[in-house]
């Protein structure tokens, strides 16, 4: 769910997930695993800040 929301928002903002991972210092393909393994809140906050959205938007079921 979280990954799907991140993917959708990145697509809307024309941002590659791999580029965001690199900019945030995350390992490659780290975010794509978020549907299986829930990330820590600090990582989610970093992504939310990067995308200029709220954490709630990343966690929202309706965003997907």
Using the predicted structure, report yes or no on whether residue 64 has a pLDDT greater than 70: no
Q: Which DSSP string corresponds to the chain? A: -HHHHHHHHHHHHT--HHHHHHHHTPPTT-GGGTTTSPPPHHHHHHHHHHHT--HHHHH-STT-
Q: Give the torsion through C-alpha atoms of 41, 47, 51, 56, to 10 deg.
A: -20
Using the predicted structure, report yes or no on whether residue 59 has a pLDDT greater than 50: yes
- pLDDT, tens digit (0-9, with 9 covering 90-100), for 27-53: 999 999 998 998 999 999 999 999 999
Using the predicted structure, report yes or no on whether residue 18 has a pLDDT greater than 70: yes
Using the predicted structure, report yes or no on whether residue 25 has a pLDDT greater than 60: yes
The whole-number pLDDT of residue 62 equals 60
> Rounded to two decimals, what is the model's pTM?
0.89
């Amino acid at each position: 769910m979280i990954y799907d929301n991140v993917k959708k928002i990145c697509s809307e903002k024309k941002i590659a997930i791999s580029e965001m991972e690199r900019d945030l210092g995350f390992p490659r393909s780290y975010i794509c695993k978020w549907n299986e393994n829930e990330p820590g809140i600090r990582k989610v906050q970093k992504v939310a800040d990067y995308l200029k959205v709220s954490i709630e938007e990343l966690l929202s079921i309706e965003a997907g």
